[in-house]
Amino acid sequence: MTDGAGARPRPRRAPARLLWLSGRELGSVALTFLGLLLVTFFIGRVVPIDPVLAAVGDRAPAEVYQRVKVELGLDLPLYRQFWLYLVKVLHGDFGKSVLTANLVLADIRRVFPATLELATVATILGVLTGIPLGVVAAARRGRGLDHVVRVVSLLGYSVPVFWLGLVGLLVLYARLGWVAGPGRLDVAFDDVVAPVTGVILIDAALRGEWEVFRSAFQHVILPASILGYFSMAYLCRMTRSFMLSELRHEYVTTARVKGMTERRVVWRHALGNVLVPLITVVALSYANLLEGSVLTETVFAWPGLGQYITSSLLNADMNAVLGGTIVVGAIFIGLNVLSDLLYRVVDPRAR
């Protein structure tokens, strides 16, 4: 559509385009979440665990078994069971935990801050070490430092996390006494700080309880460093790969010919252009630590989401297992959406 003979076509209005893009993003997120609910629903139906027996026990009379089965809606057709499941989840109702007799959502709210604290500290350590090491290794490809960094990152992938945890406890806690032992806090400081966020480091700092903060830091630093080492290995390898690809481009050669310093070429121009894929890598690494720290939480008796899901699975508490799985899946979806938004901030071309 034009205004005259030589007029240019009118561009599509920005607000309408923004509304269309936002609707598409929301639709994609909704479909992904629906797929997550479908998967968790069918997992709950195919596992060889009877939820009715888990609720009433194997010695309950037949009439009690049948009544509970009707109350849970398990006598309905499968499509109606899924509809009821969908409505409950959207209202935040994951059912009751057989193990704790609490609402699953209440249990998750109680244990998730511990996992959030551990994964956040580990991710910070991984980012602060992994990305710089990856950049340096790429800039000095084939030299001694590059080989050292590659070996260190390879060990981070190869060595089992639980073995590192046990060795760390034996050497740094039992022998040297440099760090605190298992758990999130010394017993003497239990219930000293009223929970605000649930993250002890933040709550203690907000209340000015620096002894509690010190105790919490001494407990978190070892498990976070072990998880951070795993995160560092992943981020280091990915950063090195991205940087090697970027340093081959013609604009890097042009910048060097113009007399630009190597530091500026590598750290400003090349690294600036790999920030977009690095955002996705960091987001996925963070999400993996939020849901994949089961062994670390078990070794260090860390009362987080991973240990909660594991204990629930061992006790056939499927409401808790599926509720925790949905929360972890929602975290992955949310972090992917966040990384997409950060693309537009970091890279103007994505706008």
Q: Using CA atoms, how far apart are residues 152 and 136, in angstroms rounded to an integer? A: 14
What is the SS3 assignment for 103? strand
Give 63-118 pLDDT, tens digit per residue: 787 887 787 777 778 888 888 888 888 888 888 887 888 888 999 999 999 999 99
> Alpha carbon of 85 to those of 42, 45, 82, 153, 235: distances in Å?
11, 12, 5, 43, 38
Q: Please answer whether residues 316 and 58 qualify as being in contact, where contact means their C-beta atoms are separated by less than 8 angstroms.
A: no
- DSSP-H helix ranges across 47-143: 51-56, 62-71, 78-90, 104-139
pLDDT interval class at 21 (50, 70, 90): low
Whether 120 has a pLDDT exceeding 70, the answer reads yes
Q: Quick one: average pLDDT of 236-241?
A: 92
208: Cβ contacts below 8 Å, ≥ 6 apart: none
Whether 169 has a pLDDT exceeding 80, the answer reads yes
Give 268-325 pLDDT, tens digit per residue: 888 888 888 888 889 888 888 887 677 788 888 888 888 888 888 888 788 888 888 8
Q: Using CA atoms, how far apart are residues 294 and 131, in angstroms rounded to an integer? A: 25
Q: Which amino acid is at 299?
A: V
Whether 1 has a pLDDT exceeding 50, the answer reads no
Listed range (137-141, 208-212, 291-295) with the worst mean pLDDT: 291-295
Q: Which amino acid is at 266?
A: V
Whether 8 has a pLDDT exceeding 80, the answer reads no
Q: What percent of the chain has pLDDT over 70?
A: 91
Whether 250 has a pLDDT exceeding 50, the answer reads yes
Question: What's the predicted TM-score (pTM) here?
Answer: 0.81
Candidates 181, 186, 185, 190; CA nearest to 222 is 181
Q: Which amino acid is at 148?
A: V
The pLDDT score that the predictor gives to residue 220 is: 92
The pLDDT score that the predictor gives to residue 351 is: 57
Give 182-202 pLDDT, tens digit per residue: 888 888 888 788 888 888 899
Q: Using CA atoms, how far apart are residues 124 and 295, in angstroms rounded to an integer? A: 20
Helix axes 104-139, 318-346, angle to 10 degrees: 40
Q: Quick one: average pLDDT of 217-231?
A: 91
Average pLDDT score, the chain: 83
